[in-house]
Amino acid sequence: MPIRKRILLVDDNPADLEIAAQAFGLAGITLLDTAHSLEEALEYLQRRGRHSERRTADPTLILLDLNMPGGSGLDLLRHIKSDPLFSLTPVVMLTTSSASSDIEACYRHGANGYVVKPSRFSDFQEVVLSLKSFWLSFNRTATPTSPQNTKWWL
């Protein structure tokens, strides 16, 4: 059964994007949008530039590579978590780095998860199924307009 929630995958490597698209498709996730850089991801999220006419829903989950040209995934994570429209959107880092300093920095700046990209396609499929199972099926996310997100000042 296809999942109707939208994912934004930000990765500069065309081969990784192709593998991801194939794995997500096999998992029944067809609403996968991609961006190849920090700037393109910001244009997508803010509906500017070539994405100014985007009519699709905002992503339910954002997957970020850490190392990209024009700014790192960590830079993009900071932008996302500081934007009131996307600050509550789950962001999972999907990257080749297993350095503890990268993992700690991502969690410190608001990442909701950190997954090291596996090298084998079958392992990547398992990662996708895990992401689907938790982030798209079981997890319930708050929206920026929901009452529980309203800050009350006394």
How far CA 146 is from CA of 85, 86, 88, 142, in Å, comes to 12, 13, 11, 7
Q: What is the DSSP letter of 124?
A: H
The CATH number, out of the four listed (3.10.20.590, 3.40.50.2300, 3.30.70.1560, 3.30.530.20), of the domain defined by the range 7-138: 3.40.50.2300
Q: What is the pLDDT of residue 150?
A: 40
pLDDT at 154: 36
Instruction: Return the closest-CA partner of residue 64 out of 45, 46, 41.
Output: 41
Could you give the 3-state DSSP secondary structure of residue 58? coil
pLDDT at 71: 84
Amino acid at 24: F
pLDDT the model gives residue 96: 92
Q: Is 35 exposed, middle or buried (0-12, 13-18, 19+ CB in 10 A)?
A: buried
Cβ neighbors of 99 (< 8 A, separation 6 or more) are none
Q: How many CB atoms lie within 10 A of CB 109?
A: 15
Q: Is 134 helix (H, G, I), strand (E, B) or coil?
A: helix
The per-residue pLDDT for 138 is 60
Give the pLDDT score at 29: 81
Q: Is 21 exposed, middle or buried (0-12, 13-18, 19+ CB in 10 A)?
A: middle
Give the closest residue to 65 by CA, choosing from 7, 5, 9: 9
Per-residue confidence in pLDDT tens, the chain, 154 aa: 555 678 999 999 999 999 889 998 888 887 889 999 999 999 999 999 988 898 888 998 999 999 988 889 999 999 999 999 999 999 999 999 999 999 999 999 999 999 998 888 888 888 888 877 776 666 566 665 544 444 433 3
Burial classification of residue 110, based on how many CB atoms lie within 10 Å of its CB (0-12 exposed, 13-18 middle, 19 or more buried): middle
